[in-house]
Structure 1
Amino acid sequence: MAVVKIFSGSEILAIGLQQKLAEIDIFPVVKNNMQAARTAGFGNTGLAVELFIEERELPLAEQVIEDYKMSL
């Protein structure tokens, strides 16, 4: 199973994209670097949340991702 990163950004924007993808039955893997840093006792101000999907889902997700980014 190959995965591809489809988003890096704030947690709020990641949640929005995650909800849009769920509407078409795609459920991304969330890597929340901010939460991991906070748990370890460090701060993180960068692009803290990343979303990944399976490579085979990318053709279906591309339009949703593009529409979401254009709506920001």
Structure 2
Amino acid sequence: MALVKVFSGSEILAQSLKVRIEAAGVNVIVKNNIQSSNMAGFGSLGQAVEVFIEDKDKEKAAQAIEDFKMGN
């Protein structure tokens, strides 16, 4: 299972993209470094939320990702 990062940014945008990709029938993994660092007692700045999909699902998720990038 090879994972591909398709997004890195804010938590709100990551959740929006996750919903779109899942609607296309693709499983999504969200790595939230903001929550992880807060739980450990550290602060976090910048692009701390990442969205990953399996490499084999890139084509299936491509339209949802493109629509997200274009703001549709």
Please report the TM-score for the alignment, with normalisation by the length of structure 2. Answer: 0.94
Q: Deviations over 1:18-59 (max 9, x none)?
A: 010111111211100000000011111110100111000001
Question: 2:44 maps to what in 1?
Answer: 44
Task: Give how far 1:12 is off.
Answer: 0.1
Q: Are 1:58 and 2:58 counterparts?
A: yes
Gaps of 5+ in 1: none
Helix, strand or coil: the match of 1:4?
strand
Q: Deviations over 1:4-27 (max 9, x none)?
A: 000000000000000101111112
Q: What CA distance in whole angstroms lies between the structure 2 residues aligned with 1:60 and 1:22?
A: 10
Please report the TM-score for the alignment, with normalisation by the length of structure 1. Answer: 0.94
Number of aligned residue pairs: 72
Letter in structure 1 aligned against 2:61: A
Question: 2:71 maps to what in 1?
Answer: 71
Question: 1:25 maps to what in 2?
Answer: 25
